[in-house]
């Protein structure tokens, strides 16, 4: 996707002399969830009439606005106004010189608008503008050029732009989720890898379901996925290349290999191997395929996850009697327990911001998602369910996706803000488990 | 056999007459819409075919059914989050080993399983522990290591559906699968 820097219109540059010296509009990312910011996202007007595979620009304008509004709403930080309340249609000129008074009467505090054009080469151009309605100032602007089939991604990029400008954090809407789609009786469950946009759109299956597959995770380039497959009844770590659809085991090992994750630079896989009933953590250099053993305790050492700077690895071990979290250097040295207290702590995953580790907390017959600092302090439980497990972080470390199983019932994907608020189900065609979020797409 | 042939029709006649006498005490039956196929229409010889007792089955020595029957079970169960073999499990595995000693060419896969109440990756490791506990016991009883492979399914292949203690107890197991039987 090509990103354009749009020329600032004269009107936006020349602030009205009477504009109040208002404080900069800003969404407090921690307090914002209790009072989401009212925001207007009217249909984007067409800049021309050139139709593409995604339809006419006029038709696309409404769909793009809807995607942006849904993104912002899902964060829990914004309250998009009902488009039915919008009295007039926004013109191309309005996108550069918004009718602030009209939006003010609707109590919109921010406005996301822009234009859509079709191009002769089949691409589309989306111009995206964000405004502070009360200060009557421009907050952000960006143009996006992309293939027509990518129109939703352009909308996500626009939503990310506005989210970033208003919260001060990077966005996460232009990203994907890989997960395991489940169907059938529990005793003969059919599991398939599936990938979709973070909002559930563009869903597609990657494997046909003959082989049991588990725990897919994205490479930092978002193009390769590592996962575990029971292909030929030999449970091993595999790699799936999205572009080509190529699938290959990473190697032949003495025992079962599982629980794979990429290093932040994509050059290393960290995973577990079970040999003779003892499970340890190993890493593989993907270029040389050289394998290094990182733990050697007689216990279950599994679910390793790199810190975003690649210097450390968090994992779980039952060496102390029950599943608990441990942190070690990336070479396996300095292994130290960081979770204490009652219950068990499992399946840790390091936040891309580095500040927190999300994990599964088991205790009192319940499974919940928790977060803890890498030094073991500040532990908080975010969810509490019959069986919530397997957290994964949004690219900006603000939202956690996990799987939730009802007792004897469905297994679905859910998201929760890192504050513990804004629990939402993520729609999937069938049951879903083992979600893994991609980095922000380029 | 020949004496039975004579007796059976007589016995049948006696039973019929007993029924007939009882029937008289009941209200009149509605007219039959269609007479059941009369016994007289069938060739009389059919009633005298020998061996009309059900065909019995027996476990072919060396078969999966024979293995399960001789060993008592093809699986052993485990306590919560445990991979210790209890006395019952040791008894079953001992008999499995005896059976395997009689069929030295048969290979087995020992599957380890966990109940659903654990995290996915830990349960894969736990299943591996259980499979190895069973395998190691079989090996100690003389089953050659080269005849056995282990595989853990974690919580992915429960034996029974259900989300209660009874179901979970059935699903925490190691299963000795005769190669080619699955």
Q: Give start-end residues of each CATH 3.40.50.10070 domain in chain A.
A: 2-167
Under the banding of pLDDT at 50, 70 and 90, the label for residue B26 is very low
pLDDT at A440: 97
Q: Give the model's pLDDT for residue B9.
A: 41
Interface test with B, best of A180, A186, A386 (most B CBs within 10 A): A186
* Six token digits for residue A27: 């969404």
Q: CATH 2.120.10.30: which residues of chain A?
A: 176-437
**Mean pLDDT value across chain B:** 80
Q: How many residues does chain A have?
A: 442
- From CA A305, how far away is CA A314, in angstroms rounded? 5
pLDDT digit string (tens) for A223-274?
999 999 999 999 999 999 999 999 999 998 989 999 999 999 999 999 999 9
- Ramachandran area for residue A332 (φ above 0: left; ψ -120 to 50: alpha; else beta): left
Among B108, B112, B121, B159, the residue to mutate for chain A (most A Cβ within 10 A): B121
The secondary structure of residue B68, as a DSSP letter, is H
Instruction: Report CB contact under 8 Å: B161, A185.
Output: yes
Residue A28: predicted pLDDT: 77
The nearest CA of chain B is from the CA of A264 a distance in Å of: 21
Cβ distance B128 to A323 less than 8 Å, yes or no, reads no
A215–B159 CB contact, under 8 Å: no
In this structure, what token pair is assigned to residue A35? 């009072």
Provide the pLDDT for residue A2. Answer: 82
Q: How confident is the model at residue B181 (pLDDT cuts 50, 70, 90)?
A: low
Return the structure tokens found at A274: 């079970």
pLDDT band at B51 (very low <50, low <70, confident <90, very high): low
Query: In the prediction, which pLDDT does B62 show?
Result: 87
When the pLDDT of each residue in chain A is averaged and rounded to a whole number, the result is 94
Measure in Å the smallest separation between the Cα of A274 and chain B Cα atoms.
7
Q: B174 near B78, Cβ under 8 Å?
A: yes
CB contact under 8 A, B119 and A276: no
Is it the case that residue B57 has pLDDT exceeding 70? Answer: yes
**Model confidence band, residue A390 (pLDDT cutoffs 50, 70, 90):** very high
pLDDT at A31: 66
The residues that bridge with A146 in the sheet, in sequence order, are A124
A233 touches chain B (CB under 8 A): yes
Q: Out of B121, B156, B163, whose CB is closest to A407?
A: B163
CA distance B158 to B180: 20
CA A78 to chain centre: 18
Residue A125 has pLDDT above 90, yes or no: yes
Query: How high is the pLDDT of residue A11?
Result: 41
Q: Please enumerate in sequence order all residues whose Cβ is within 8 A of that of B39, keeping only pairs 6 or more positions apart, or say none.
A: none
CA distance readout (Å), A118 to A9, A62, A64, A66, A142:
21, 14, 13, 19, 17
Which residues does A294 contact at the CB level (< 8 Å), separation at least 6? A270, A280, A281, A282, A283, A304, A313, A328, A331, A332
Q: How many CB atoms lie within 10 A of CB A283?
A: 23
**Between chains, do A318 and B124 touch, taking CB under 8 Å as contact?**
no
pLDDT digits (tens, 9 = 90+) for A66-120: 999 999 999 999 999 999 999 889 999 999 999 999 999 999 999 999 999 999 9
> Is pLDDT above 90 for B180?
no
Question: Which residue's structure tokens are 């995607």?
Answer: A67
pLDDT at A23: 61
pLDDT at A361 over 60: yes
Of the candidates B96, B102, B86, the one whose C-alpha atom is nearest the C-alpha of residue B172 is B86
3-state secondary structure of A10: helix
State how far the Cα of B93 lies from the Cα of A224, in Å rounded to an integer.
44
By C-alpha distance, which of A120, A7, A116 is closest to A62? Answer: A116
d(C-alpha A259, C-alpha B81), whole Å: 19
pLDDT at residue B39 in the model: 44
Q: What superfamily in CATH does domain A2-167 come from? A: TolB, N-terminal domain (3.40.50.10070)
Structure tokens at A328: 């070690």
Q: Name the nearest CA neighbour of A366 among A348, A379, A382.
A: A382
- Is the pLDDT confidence value at B54 over 80? no
Token look-up 């269609």 returns B34
Distances (CA, A) of A431 to A241, A404, A434, A435: 24, 10, 11, 11
φ, ψ (nearest 5 deg) of residue A132: -90, 115
- pLDDT tens for A308-353 read 999 999 999 999 999 999 999 999 999 999 999 789 999 999 999 9
A216 neighbors A434 (Cβ within 8 angstroms): yes
pLDDT tens per residue, range A417-428: 999 999 999 999
Q: How confident is the model at residue A7 (pLDDT cuts 50, 70, 90)?
A: low
Identify the residue whose tokens are 């559906």. Answer: B161
Question: What percent of chain A stands above pLDDT 90?
Answer: 90
From A279-293, B27-41, B140-154, the region with the lowest mean pLDDT: B27-41
Residue B131 confidence (pLDDT): 98
| CATH topology for the A176-437 domain | Neuraminidase (2.120.10)
Chosen for mutation from A274, A282, A385 (greatest number of chain B CBs closer than 10 Å) is A274
Q: Which part of chain B has CATH 3.30.1330.60?
A: 64-178
Among chain A residues, the shortest Cα distance to B136 is held by A276
d(CA A382, CA A390): 13
What's the sign of the alpha-carbon dihedral A45, A48, A51, A53? negative
pLDDT in tens, B116-163: 999 999 999 999 999 999 999 999 999 999 999 999 999 999 999 999
- Backbone torsion region of residue A232, taken as left when φ is above 0, otherwise alpha when ψ lies between -120 and 50, otherwise beta: left
Q: How many Å lie between the alpha carbon of B69 and the closest alpha carbon of chain A?
A: 24
Tell me which of A15 and A162 has the higher pLDDT. Answer: A162
Report the residue from A274, A405, A408 with minimal CB separation from B152: A274
Strand order across the A176-183 sheet: A204-205, A190-197, A176-183, A431-437
Torsional class of A245: left (φ above 0), alpha (ψ -120 to 50), beta (otherwise): left
CATH topology of domain B64-178: 60s Ribosomal Protein L30; Chain: A; (3.30.1330)
* Euclidean distance between the first and the last CA atom of chain A, given in angstroms as a whole number: 7
More confident residue, A352 or B32: A352
Q: List the beta bridge partners of residue A230.
A: none
Each residue of B90-104: pLDDT tens digit?
999 999 999 999 999
Q: What local confidence, expressed as pLDDT, does residue A32 receive?
A: 64
- CA nearest neighbour of A390 among A75, A239, A179: A179
Please give the Cα distance from B28 to A71 (Å, whole number): 79
């Amino acid at each position: 996707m090509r990103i354009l820097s749009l020329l600032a219109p004269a009107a936006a540059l020349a602030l009205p002399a009477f504009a109040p010296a208002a404080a900069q509009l800003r969404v407090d990312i921690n307090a914002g969830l209790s009072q989401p910011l009212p925001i207007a996202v009217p249909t984007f007007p067409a800049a021309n009439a050139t139709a593409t595979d995604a339809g006419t620009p006029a038709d696309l304008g409404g769909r793009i606005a809807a995607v942006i509004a849904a993104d912002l709403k899902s964060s829990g930080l914004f309250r998009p106004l009902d488009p039915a309340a919008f009295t007039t249609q926004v013109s191309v000129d309005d996108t550069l010189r918004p009718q602030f008074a009209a939006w003010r009467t609707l109590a919109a505090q921010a406005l996301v608008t822009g234009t859509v054009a079709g191009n002769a080469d089949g691409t589309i151009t989306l111009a995206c503008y964000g405004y502070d309605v009360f200060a009557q100032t421009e907050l952000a602007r960006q143009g996006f050029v992309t293939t027509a089939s990518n129109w939703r991604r352009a909308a996500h990029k626009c939503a990310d732009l506005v989210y970033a400008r208003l919260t001060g954090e990077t966005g996460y809407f232009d990203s994907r989720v890989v997960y395991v789609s489940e169907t059938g009786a529990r005793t003969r469950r059919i599991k398939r890898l599936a990938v979709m946009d973070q909002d559930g759109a563009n869903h597609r299956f990657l494997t046909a379901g003959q082989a049991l597959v588990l725990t897919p995770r994205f490479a930092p380039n978002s193009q390769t996925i590592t996962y575990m497959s029971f292909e030929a009844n030999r449970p091993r770590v595999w790699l799936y290349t999205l572009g080509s659809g190529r699938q290959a085991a990473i190697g032949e090992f003495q025992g079962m290999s599982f629980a794979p994750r990429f290093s932040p630079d994509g050059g290393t896989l960290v995973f577990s191997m079970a040999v003779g009933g003892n499970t340890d953590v190993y890493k593989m250099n993907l270029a040389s395929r050289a394998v290094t053993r990182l733990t050697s305790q007689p216990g279950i050492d599994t679910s390793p996850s790199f810190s975003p700077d690649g210097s450390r690895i968090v994992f779980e071990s039952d060496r102390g009697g029950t599943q608990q979290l441990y942190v070690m250097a990336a070479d396996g040295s300095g292994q130290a327990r960081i979770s204490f207290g009652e219950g068990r702590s499992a399946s840790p995953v390091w936040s891309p911001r580095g500040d927190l580790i999300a994990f599964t907390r088991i205790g009192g017959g319940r499974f919940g998602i928790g977060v803890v600092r890498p030094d073991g302090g500040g532990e908080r439980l975010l969810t509490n369910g019959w069986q919530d497990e397997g957290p994964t972080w949004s690219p900006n470390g603000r939202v956690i996706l996990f799987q939730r199983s009802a007792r004897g019932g469905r297994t679905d994907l859910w998201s929760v803000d890192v504050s513990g608020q804004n629990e939402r189900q993520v729609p999937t065609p069938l049951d879903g488990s083992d979600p893994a979020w991609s980095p922000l797409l380029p | 056999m020949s004496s039975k042939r004579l007796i059976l029709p007589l016995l049948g006649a006696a039973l019929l007459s007993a029924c007939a006498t009882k029937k008289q005490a009941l209200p009149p039956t509605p007219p039959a819409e269609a007479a059941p196929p009369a016994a007289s229409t069938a060739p009389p010889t059919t009633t005298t075919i020998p061996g009309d007792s059900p065909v019995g089955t027996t476990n072919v020595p060396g078969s999966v059914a024979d293995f399960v029957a001789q060993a008592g079970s093809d699986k052993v169960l485990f306590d919560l989050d445990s991979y210790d073999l209890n006395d019952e499990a040791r008894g079953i595995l001992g008999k499995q080993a005896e059976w395997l000693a009689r069929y030295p060419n048969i290979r087995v896969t020992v599957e380890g399983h966990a109940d659903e109440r654990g995290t996915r990756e830990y349960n894969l490791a736990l299943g591996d522990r259980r499979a190895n506990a069973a395998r190691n016991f079989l090996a100690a009883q003389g089953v050659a290591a080269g005849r056995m492979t282990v595989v853990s399914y974690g919580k992915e292949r429960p034996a029974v559906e259900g989300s209660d203690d009874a179901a979970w107890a059935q699903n925490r197991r190691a299963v000795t699968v005769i190669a080619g039987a699955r």
